[in-house]
């Protein structure tokens, strides 16, 4: 049984001003295995966030199904934790309070919460910052906290929507390496959304490449890189460069088709 199974996903929005119907997701199907790191990649505006929001239970699909552990999802649930681009930390909670939050909500006994939370804070490298408030942390550290907060809940799948897009390039590299490290030690199932080809290839076992709107799965690319991974050795790896080139071609081929379609319709 697959951990996450998406089939025939379709989503239309009705623009509230113009009443125009926008098809955000055309027809998307793919499955994620337990302990797999999968990225969803595609041009901006192709519906990646919409797919993630449906899987998270924040939005309802127009058609198609999403199964987690074989069961149809209904609404948000701690089995599907979300790491947001904007971090979405609770500013009124300390670092420790943020990680403990989910455990409290799920009724984990008080004396068990803190050891669990500390374990995950150590995992993401935030030991010693327990009593700080989120606004006292750098962007990179805030997102580490966002990851710890989700992992402490031990979700079936961790959903991440361009989580490193709002940190500087230097920090982003480090966060990507650390996320890979965490993944390699804990093997959570990860559903990662990005528009950055290098990032997707570096992190993932497989990359789901979406076409532009109305989005469909263009190709699911398996990444042939060994683990553990780090940027130094991956950048020198010809397999990395081949995979990146292949995906870049897929995306630009898609773009030229769009241009062609525009020319045809003109």
Partner 1 sequence: MSRRLAAAFWFVVPFVGLVVIWAAIVALTGVDRRVFPQVTDVARAFADMWASGELATHVGASLQRIAIGVVAALVTAIPFGFALGISRWAAAFFSPLLRFSVALAGIAWIPLATLWFGTGEQAVIFIVWNAMFFALTYNAMLGVQRIPTELLRAARSLGTTRLRMFSDVMLPGALPSIVTGLRVGLGYGWRGLVAAEIIATNAGIGYSIFLAQRFFRTDVIITGMIIIGVLWLIVDRVLLAPLERRTVERWGMKAVVS
Ligand X SMILES: Nc1ncnc2c1ncn2[C@@H]1O[C@H](COP(=O)(O)OP(=O)(O)O)[C@@H](O)[C@H]1O
Which pairing describes strands 206-210 and 215-222: parallel, antiparallel, or unpaired? antiparallel
Strands of the sheet containing 4-14, edge to edge, are 71-72, 63-68, 4-14, 21-32, 215-222, 206-210, 37-41, 190-194, 157-161, 80-83
CA-to-CA separations, 68 to 98, 160, 236, in angstroms, rounded: 26, 16, 37
**Phi/psi class of residue 19: alpha, beta or left (left: φ > 0; alpha: ψ in -120 to 50)?**
left
Strand partners, 194: 41
- Which of ligand X, Mg ion, partner 1, none interacts with 97 (beta carbon under 5 to 8 A by kind)? none
Among 2, 5, 13, 93, binds ligand X (CB under 6 A): 13
Q: Does 57 bind partner 1 (CB under 8 A)?
A: yes
Interface with Mg ion in residues 50-89 (CB under 5 A): none
Q: Does 24 bind ligand X (CB under 6 A)?
A: yes
Q: Residue 187 and residue 175: Cα distance in Å, rounded?
A: 17
Q: Does 49 bind Mg ion (CB under 5 A)?
A: yes
Q: Interface mask (CB under 8 A) for partner 1, residues 2-21, using x and -?
A: --------------------
Q: At its nearest, how many Å lie between partner 1 and the CB of residue 145?
A: 12
Q: Does 109 bind partner 1 (CB under 8 A)?
A: no
Q: Does 194 bind Mg ion (CB under 5 A)?
A: no
CA-to-CA separations, 216 to 7, 137, 150, 174, 208, in angstroms, rounded: 11, 39, 29, 32, 10
- Which of ligand X, partner 1, Mg ion, none interacts with 56 (beta carbon under 5 to 8 A by kind)? partner 1
Q: Residue 224 and residue 255: Cα distance in Å, rounded?
A: 26
Q: Does 76 bind ligand X (CB under 6 A)?
A: no
Q: Does 58 bind partner 1 (CB under 8 A)?
A: yes
Q: Where are the alpha helices (DSSP H) in the chain?
A: 48-56, 95-105, 110-123, 139-151, 169-186, 197-203, 231-236, 238-265
- Which of ligand X, Mg ion, partner 1, none interacts with 58 (beta carbon under 5 to 8 A by kind)? partner 1
Q: Does 224 bind ligand X (CB under 6 A)?
A: no
Q: Does 54 bind ligand X (CB under 6 A)?
A: no
Interface with partner 1 in residues 153-212 (CB under 8 A): 153
Q: Residue 155 and residue 8: Cα distance in Å, rounded?
A: 24
Q: At its nearest, how many Å lie between Mg ion and the CB of residue 63?
A: 21
Tokens linked to 220: 């699911």
Residues that bind ligand X (CB under 6 A): 13, 15, 22, 24, 42, 44-50
Residues that bind partner 1 (CB under 8 A): 56-58, 75-78, 80-82, 84, 86, 88-92, 101-102, 105-106, 133-136, 149-150, 153
């Amino acid at each position: 049984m697959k951990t996450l199974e998406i089939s025939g996903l379709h989503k239309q929005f009705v623009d509230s001003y113009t009443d125009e119907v926008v098809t955000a997701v055309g027809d998307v199907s793919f499955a994620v295995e337990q302990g797999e790191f999968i990225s969803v990649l595609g041009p901006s505006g192709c519906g990646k966030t919409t797919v993630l929001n449906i899987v998270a239970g924040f939005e309802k699909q127009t058609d198609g199904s999403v199964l987690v552990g074989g069961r149809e999802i209904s609404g948000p649930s701690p089995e599907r934790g979300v790491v947001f681009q904007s971090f979405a930390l609770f500013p009124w909670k300390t670092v420790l309070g943020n990680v403990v939050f989910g455990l409290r909500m799920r009724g984990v006994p008080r004396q068990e919460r803190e050891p669990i939370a500390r374990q995950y804070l150590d995992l993401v490298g935030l030991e010693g910052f327990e009593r700080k408030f989120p606004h006292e942390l750098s962007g990179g550290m805030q997102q580490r906290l966002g990851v710890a907060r989700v992992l402490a809940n031990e979700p079936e799948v961790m959903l991440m929507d361009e989580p490193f897009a709002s940190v500087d390039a230097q920090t982003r590299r480090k966060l990507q390496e650390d996320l890979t490290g965490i993944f390699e030690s804990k093997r959570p199932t990860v559903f990662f959304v990005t528009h950055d080809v290098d990032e997707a290839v570096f992190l993932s076992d497989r990359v789901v490449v979406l076409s532009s709107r109305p989005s469909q799965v263009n190709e699911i690319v398996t990444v042939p890189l060994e683990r553990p991974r780090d940027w130094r050795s991956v950048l020198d790896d010809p397999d990395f460069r081949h995979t990146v080139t292949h995906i870049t071609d897929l995306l630009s081929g898609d773009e030229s088709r769009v241009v062609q379609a525009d020319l045809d319709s003109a």
